[in-house]
Amino acid sequence: MRKSYQNLVEKLTEISRLNGVMNTITWDQEVMMPSGSAYARTGQIAALAGVIHERMTAPALGECLDELKICSDFNTVECCNIREASRQYDLMTKIPKRLVQTLAELSSRGHTIWVQARRENKFNDFSPVIQEFLLLKKEWASCAFPDISPYDANLDLFERGTTAAEISAIFDQLKTTLAPLIHEITHQTYQPDTAFLQGCFPIDKQAALARKISQDIGFQFDKGRMDVSVHPFCGGSDPTDVRITTRYSKDDFVESIYAAIHETGHALYEQGRKIESADLPVSESLTMGIHESQSLFWERMVAQSRAFCTHYFDSFCEFFSDKSQGITVDTFYQAINACKPDFIRVEADELTYPLHLILRFEIERDLFAGNISVNDLPELWNEKMLTYLGIRPPNDTLGVLQDSHWSSGAFGYFPSYTLGAIYACQFYFAMQRELPDVEQFIASGNFVPIKNWLNDKIHSQGKLYSPQELVVKITGEPLNPQHYLSYLEEKYRAIYRLNGL
């Protein structure tokens, strides 16, 4: 049995290393590859993907897992590796090859169609892609998770163990509180001064500040890189090789710095994984939602706090002296947290962001349930935007066509963003109970205790527990959106000078 386990470890290690190679070449594709090489790179990625798929679905791996599953002679870490490898193997081998290929083909075709449809504001060109994906993703669900509803199966891929019913209950609470709050804020006379965030912020200074903050909060540059790409992301091939990107625009200093902090949050998770099991499932990040909780923990809970703004206000004044004349820490803090409903999700602020996701979740859920049809999406989208955020997109490019997710069939992905925000808040308050001085730490630029706490409680835990178990273990209770709601209400009522809670 020991020998079989060793055999499993070897097979999983090979797969993990090949995946590490894949991550390096996909990073390279986004950050380094010459523009003329796209065609060749597609072939190279396909060849490597073929090898990885072959290894992940090898009958010998299945036999090895079958042997190990009937034995109980393993410790917690070993059990986790066997359990996770089995789940992965089952997921890979239960789906017919024809379906895998059809999905891959549609994903590639769908993306091209979406790019053009968005550019030309032609939803009808894109709607057949959604329609096809719906059918294929239902078929996929019936193969992958035959015992649960098709949408729950799609959710499970990103946030395992979480159902649409549970998410609906949580999101209904958010909606009920946040939509009226946003309405109040939008109609409030007092608005933060954001004028000093307009104008030109030289990119070399932005980049220097982004690197400084990333390093300050704990990113290890000897085990990672920070570069520029069209869309910010966190990639890399190993906990010792974590690569984040951001983008710079000379007239938007906040976006680039906070994107860098967001990706640093993801990166700290990856750099904090158990290094001795780096090539085994036990050390892998838990779910999309938990990953997002780490980026949002740093971006929202830490970096949008008054304490953080206090600490970095001097840097801001030093780097951008022409912008900081007459500005106080308080003005700075309020401007960073200004709330303004916008059509575009990726440009949304902390308070309006969840409503963008709730809207998408409701549409996906109702599509899978057959309660709405694809043709209704533009109108439904715009109606919900009006109800939740008080604005109505003037066209589909700024509405239903804005996100790429559906063009690749990534249904069930959106809720993780907001689950991540709720987790982040609940983790933060749990940490504050254990580290009551956390705000002073932040205000003095000492991020070590925070990073250590996250390393210990989350990053090093890998896949040992389910997200549901982990949140109870860390915070003493299941996921509870009430903390998140109280946090948002208190923070934004104060900033916007709205009457009591």
H/E segment holding residue 444 = none
Q: Is 263 a catalytic residue?
A: yes
Question: Smallest distance from the beta carbon of 6 to a copy of itself, in angstroms?
Answer: 16
When the beta carbons of 41 and 405 are compared against a copy of itself, the nearer one is 41
Question: Smallest distance from the beta carbon of 229 to a copy of itself, in angstroms?
Answer: 14
- Measured at the alpha carbon of residue 274, what is the angle toward residues 305 and 12, in degrees to the nearest 5? 130
How far does CA 261 lie from the centroid of its chain? Answer: 13
Q: How many residues does the chain have?
A: 501
Question: Smallest distance from the beta carbon of 235 to a copy of itself, in angstroms?
Answer: 12
Pairing of strands 241-246, 224-228: parallel
CA gap 474, 187 in Å, rounded: 39
Tell me the β-bridge partners of 236.
242
Q: Can you spell out the DSSP letters for 200-238?
A: ---HHHHHHHHHHHHHHHT--GGGEEEEE-SS--EEEEE
When the beta carbons of 36 and 370 are compared against a copy of itself, the nearer one is 36
CA gap 318, 314 in Å, rounded: 6
- In sequence order, which residues have a C-beta less than 8 Å from that of residue 108 and are 6 or more positions away? none
Give the residues lining the site for a copy of itself (CB under 8 A).
13-14, 17-18, 20-21, 24-25, 28, 32-37, 39-41, 43-44, 46-48, 50-51, 220-225, 237-241, 278-279
Task: Please pick, among 84, 159, 166, 263, the residue that the annotation labels catalytic.
Answer: 263
Question: Smallest distance from the beta carbon of 221 to a copy of itself, in angstroms?
Answer: 7
CA gap 320, 329 in Å, rounded: 14
| Contact in structure between 334 and 300 (CB atoms under 8 Å) | no
Question: Smallest distance from the beta carbon of 357 to a copy of itself, in angstroms?
Answer: 34
For 268-289, give one letter per residue: b (16+ CB within 10 A) or e: bbbbbbbeebbbbbbbbbbbbb
Q: Where does residue 75 fall: left (phi above 0), alpha (psi -120 to 50 degrees), or beta otherwise?
A: beta
CA gap 294, 423 in Å, rounded: 9
Question: Smallest distance from the beta carbon of 8 to a copy of itself, in angstroms?
Answer: 16
Q: Cβ–Cβ contacts within 10 Å for residue 79, how many? A: 15
CA gap 209, 312 in Å, rounded: 10
Long-range pairs for 401-405 at CB < 8 Å and ≥24 separation? 401/114, 401/117, 401/118, 401/121, 401/123, 401/126, 402/118, 402/343, 402/344, 402/345, 403/345, 403/360, 404/111, 404/114
Burial-class residue 94 by CB neighbours within 10 Å (0-12, 13-18, 19+): middle
Question: Smallest distance from the beta carbon of 263 to a copy of itself, in angstroms?
Answer: 15
When the beta carbons of 278 and 472 are compared against a copy of itself, the nearer one is 278
| Contact in structure between 392 and 342 (CB atoms under 8 Å) | no
Question: Smallest distance from the beta carbon of 88 to a copy of itself, in angstroms?
Answer: 18
Joined together, the tokens standing for residue 233 give 């992301």
What proportions of the chain, in percent to the nearest 5, are helix, strand and coil? 70, 5, 30
Question: Smallest distance from the beta carbon of 388 to a copy of itself, in angstroms?
Answer: 43
When the beta carbons of 40 and 208 are compared against a copy of itself, the nearer one is 40
When the beta carbons of 55 and 94 are compared against a copy of itself, the nearer one is 55
Q: Annotated catalytic sites, by residue?
A: 263
